[in-house]
Every structure is written in structure tokens, then in C-alpha cells.
Amino acid sequence: MKGRTISHAPAGPAPGAGRVTPLGVLAVAAALAGALVPVWTQDAPFVLVMASHAAVAALLAVSLDLLTGNTGLLSFGHAGWFGLGAYACGLAAKGWSAELLLAVPVALVAALLLSAAVGAILVRQVGKAFAILTLAFSQVLYALVFLFSDVTGGEDGLQGIPVPTFFGREIASQEAWYWLLYGTLVAVLAAAFALRRSPLGCAWLGIRENAERAHFVGMHVGRLKLYAYMASAALAALAGALHVLFNGATSPETLHWFESGKVLMYMVLGGVGTIVGPAVGAVVFTLAEETLSSVTDAWLIYFGALFVFIVIVAPGGLFGLAKPAWRRLARRRGEPQ
Amino acid sequence: MLIVSLMLNGIVLGSILLLSSLGLTLIYGVGRIVNFAHGALFSVGAMMAVWLAGAGLGFGWALALTLVLAAALGVALDWATLSRIRDRPMVDSLLLTFGIAMLTTGILYEAGGRNLQVLVPPPSLAGAVTVLGATLPAYRVFVSVLAIVLAAALLVFLKRSRWGLRVRAANDDGEMAACLGINRNTLMHSVVGVSTALVALSGAAAAPIFNAYATVGDKILILAFMTVILGGLGSLRGAVVAAYVVGMIIVFGEAYTGGQAALLMLFVLVMLMLVYWPRGFFGEGRTE
């Protein structure tokens, strides 16, 4: 399709696809190791809960990377979509059905509709105005929680969400939850990689690199950006929906700009546009926060300082730091990196 | 009388916003930086005033010292962080100021900002005055006058002084200004210093109205952002008009619809404005 015309990658399957590469083996090994977490945490159930939270955070980070990594648009209010998904799904589970396959789509549809409406105006904005407006929009959603506090529970948060069912069976055990969240994460990562190699993904990258030229070769830049925004919002809402069902409650704090900041941080730490990087960043940070918050409650200071430090010293994140080594490895194997 | 009273309160809020958003506009104009830390610096000013007043300083002195300390803080901030990423893509400056906002808020939390702190205005400003038949606390009148005088002083200074000439030159065309021998680095130090001083002072002066806590500036940040977008990014006179428009919308919205819906109304207005009038009230904002 259109994307191919600007892609420098050779047409057909991307290099490495369909062959057994060290990276592919590593990815499968890592995925399996992640799936086995419940086995070796049998004695420490709270570790498993922590790992489940990390999986949700990773989903959220990947959702932001879907937008920023692909199109270069930087959302400072991504927690808004996360919170929207959490509230929409939580209300659906309370008022309608606790079936996972019914309640979660409610959140997705809500996010898609709202992001289509807001995004249609937002994607016209370039860079700074987009960043400002996404932050403002998340604050509006935050304010709405309090405005409709008789429905949402206001300051106390949304509570009393029933135990969700999956095809009619209750998801009660922590292991089942972990595998559900982890499975979703792996599926989303795989889908994100597939999307990156699809014509749509190529078109997005073209827009990120040079929106003007992408426009010249006949792409609908605005529409493609809107798709990225909607996909990203829906995925963030999915993370929020799983979060609320897993927790059984949610609070307005999920929409606060601190949360948006944390997501940004996951992404920046992991490396923008690397898909896996933000997920890794999210896992590292969630674990660090849980550990740190038992020692000190001043985590904002540490995270803020680290954030400032990373942006100044290593704007590419951890993966950015690893890039030179990766290039060397790729060159030795005689492949374009 | 309700209308008059609301309008007066709208002017009070507008004046506070004016003082806060002029600095935001200046930093944007000269450095092309959208400062997400602006709200946190507002909170810093409010907390600073509480501390200084708590240390036994008179109210006026507390305000004055806040102004001076915040200016120094701003220059230090620009030197230590913002100047390190001058030539990087725009995205980095957004992330950096966002990180500074988190860091600052975290520090304020630990420094006692978790709880609401009350700053009592001096007895000479404690009474109430009647303006156009509506009663208004005298302190609010004082804050409005202070904000308007300072904003006017800044605008005159920008128009008349050599520093203002440089700032306007860099605002119009940074590269050309640099070619003409304007040191953008030191100019930016001073601009961030002035901007921080103004926003911290507005935080300090507003502390008796909004109280002081670590996240008091969050709402101001959003409103100031809406202000600079309505006025057009980088447009000073646009910001002046927009500050009062935003102040009126928030005060009237909160009075008639109850609390939080005002922000929603404002957001819808800003979105409409962006569709039909993306360069702000005077058509001189930037859209790059």
C-alpha cells in the first residue's frame, strides 16, 4: 500500500522473518520465562500481584509507545485513557455484566469513540499544542470523575466491582489473573511488532520522520495520525479495564497527571519507539516503585530526578544506551541493523 | 449583584492567571519551551511565602523575598537543566520540564506540602470593600492590583528597555537575533528567572486565597496553558486578554454549574478556538 512507497526496507518479509535468529530465540525464551513467574513465586504471593501490576503497567507503556514511537506525537495525558477504560469497564461490570468479554469491550468502545472525537481536533495540532491539550484533556476527565461523583464514587473511587468471569467461570486465583494479564501483554507486543512491519506501520514511521514529505507522497497524514491516536487510546483503555477488574476498585488517582508522567517515564527509560523497551521500563519501574515505597514515600523525588537525568544524559533510554553495542553485533552478523 | 460579584472574582482570578501566564508565554517565545514545571513553580512560591511568613517575616517582605529567591531559582534551573538541551528536539524540553515538575512536587511533598497550609493576609488588608455594590475581600483587590501593576511593568519593560528589545528580537526570530550578537544563552537565563519570579510571586500572593500545598499549582498550570493557547502561543497581548477570558469562564462556570464542569466548558471552548482560530485572539500565535 502507500507505506511501501517510502519504506527503505526491501519489499516482502522483513529481514529475519521466518528464520531462527538469536533474537527470536531470546524473545521466545523471555516470553516463556515470564509465563513461569507463578511457578517460582508460589511462596511469595505478593510478588505475583506485583508482577500482575507490572504487566498492566507494561501494557500501558506499550500503548503510549504505539502513539509516540510510531508517529512522534507525545501524549502527556495518557493516564486519562487508562482511567477512562478503568471507569467505563468498572461501571459496566457493576451495572451490567461481570463477564470479561462483555465488560472490557465497553471500555474499548468508549475509548475509541471519545478518542475519535477529541483526536480529530488534536491531531491537527503539531507538537507542543498537542502535548498541552492531551494534558488538559486528561485533567478534564479527572474533573469529570468528581463532577459525576454519584456515579463514579468521586474521591472514594469506584468500589465493589464483582469478581469477573471468563466464559462464565470466575477468575479468582492469582495465577489465572497473572496468566491472563501476561498473555494479553505478549499478544499486544506481538501485534505491535506485526503492526510495525505492516504497510500502516511503515506509513506511521514515514509521518514520524517527515510529515510534510509523507503528505507529498499522498498519505492522509491527519487520518493516519488519528488512527494511531485511537489505537493508542483503546489499548490504554484495555490496560485500565484489566486493571480495574484485577483490583476490584479504582480511584481518581489513576487519571492524575502523576500517572501520565509515570507512563512517559516508562517509555523514555525504555527507549521511545522500541516497543519492547517501554514494556521493560514499565516492569523495572513498577518493581522499583513497590520496593522503594516500602522504604520511603518520597518516590516522586527519586523518579523526577531520574527522569531529568535520563532526558539530559541518555535521551534514547536504556535501549538507546544499548544501541551502539547492538549495532556492532548486527554488523558482525553481516546484516543491516 | 451576583453578576457583579462574579465578574469581580473573575477579574481577580484573571489577574492571577495573567501574572502566571506571561512568564509561560515569554519562555515559549524566546526558548520555544513549553514549561510543564510552571504549575509546580507556582506551588513553590506559595509554599515559600508560608515558610517565610512562618519564619517571622512581615507579609510584604515575604512576598518580596519570594520574588528574589524564585528569580535565583529560575536562573539556576535554566543553567542546570534547560541550557543542557538547547539544541535537542522539542520533545526533550517537554519531557525535561515534566520531570522537573515531578521532582519539584516531590520535594514540596516532603517539605510539608502534603497538608494544606494557611497564609493569613496582614491585618491592613483583612477587611472587605464594596465595589459597584458588591462586597469583596480587600485582599483580593490588593492581589488584582499587584498582578496588574506587575504585568504592566513587565510589558512596559519589554517595550522600553534594552533587555526587552533583546527578548522581543529573540521572540520574533531567534536565529537572526543570535546573528546580531544577542547571547541567547544568557538571555534565556534571565527570561526563565523573570518567568519563575513572576509565577512564584503570583503563587505567593494567591496563597491567602487558594492556600498553599504541593499541588496548588496544578490547576493554575492547566488554566495558564489554556490561556496561552487561547491567546496564541507566544503572543503577549493575546495572553493578557485570554487570562481574563479564562478567569471569567472559570468563575462563572463554577458558580452556575457547580465546580468541575467549568474546566470542561473551557476545554471545549479551546478546542473550538483551535479549529476556527488557531492563532489566538490577535492572530499572531505560532502554530509550528
Classified by CATH at the fold level, domain A45-299 comes out as ABC transporter involved in vitamin B12 uptake, BtuC (1.10.3470)
pLDDT at B287: 65
Q: Which domains does chain B have, with CATH numbers?
A: 2-276 (1.10.3470)
Chain B residues within an 8 Å CB radius of A304: 99-106
Helix (H, G, I), strand (E, B) or coil at A308: helix
User: CB–CB of A271/A326 below 8 Å?
Assistant: no
pLDDT greater than 90 at residue B86: no
Of A128, A302, A312, the CB nearest to B81: A312
pLDDT higher for B128 or A232?
Answer: A232
pLDDT at B2: 82
Long-range (24+ apart) CB contacts under 8 A made by B225-228 are B225/A132, B225/A135, B225/A136, B225/B24, B226/A136, B226/B266, B226/B267, B226/B270, B227/B17, B227/B21, B227/B24, B228/B21, B228/B24, B228/B25, B228/B28
B212: which strand partners? Answer: B117
User: CB–CB of B43/B213 below 8 Å?
Assistant: yes
Of B36, B92, B261, the CB nearest to A147: B261
Positions of chain A with pLDDT under 50 = 1-17, 336-337
pLDDT at B175: 85
Q: Which residue is closest to B104 within chain A, CA to CA?
A: A301
Q: How far is B237 from chain A (nearest CA, A)?
A: 19
Residue-wise pLDDT tens digits, B31-45: 888 888 999 999 999
Interface residues from chain A to B (CB-CB < 8 Å): 72, 74, 76, 118, 121, 124-129, 131-133, 135-137, 139-140, 143-144, 146-147, 257-258, 261, 264-265, 268, 298-305, 307-308, 311-312, 315
Mutate which of B88, B95, B279 to test chain A, going by most A C-beta atoms within 10 A?
Answer: B95
pLDDT greater than 80 at residue B27: yes
Whether B274 sits inside 8 A of A125 (CB atoms) is yes
Whether B91 sits inside 8 A of A74 (CB atoms) is yes
Q: Which residue is closest to B107 within chain A, CA to CA?
A: A301
Residue-wise pLDDT tens digits, B254-288: 888 866 788 888 888 888 887 788 788 887 777 65
pLDDT at A330: 67
Task: Please name the residue ranges forming H helices in chain B.
Answer: 2-31, 38-54, 59-80, 90-108, 138-160, 162-172, 174-179, 184-210, 217-231, 236-257, 261-276
User: CB–CB of B103/A301 below 8 Å?
Assistant: yes
Question: What angle do helix axes A128-147 and A100-122 make, rounded to 10 degrees?
Answer: 130
pLDDT greater than 50 at residue B172: yes
User: CB–CB of A186/A193 below 8 Å?
Assistant: no
pLDDT at A337: 41
Whether A258 sits inside 8 A of B102 (CB atoms) is yes
Q: How far is CA B235 from the centre of its chain?
A: 14
Chain B residues within an 8 Å CB radius of A268: 95
pLDDT at B237: 86
Report percent pLDDT > 90 for chain B: 38
Q: How far is A178 from chain B (nearest CA, A)?
A: 31
- Residue spans of the domains in chain A: they are 45-299
Interface residues from chain B to A (CB-CB < 8 Å): 28, 34, 36, 81, 84-85, 88, 90-92, 94-96, 98-107, 109-110, 218, 222, 225-226, 229, 233, 258-261, 263-264, 267, 270-271, 274-275, 278, 287-288
Whether B225 sits inside 8 A of A311 (CB atoms) is no
Per-residue pLDDT, averaged over B218-222, amounts to 88
User: CB–CB of A261/A78 below 8 Å?
Assistant: no
Q: How far is A136 from chain B (nearest CA, A)?
A: 6
pLDDT at A2: 39
Whether A72 sits inside 8 A of B106 (CB atoms) is no
Write the ipTM: 0.84
Whether B81 sits inside 8 A of A268 (CB atoms) is no
Q: How far is A260 from chain B (nearest CA, A)?
A: 10
pLDDT greater than 90 at residue B17: yes
How many interchain CB pairs under 8 A, A with B?
Answer: 124
Per-residue pLDDT, averaged over B26-55, amounts to 90
pLDDT at A19: 62
Q: How far is A310 from chain B (nearest CA, A)?
A: 9
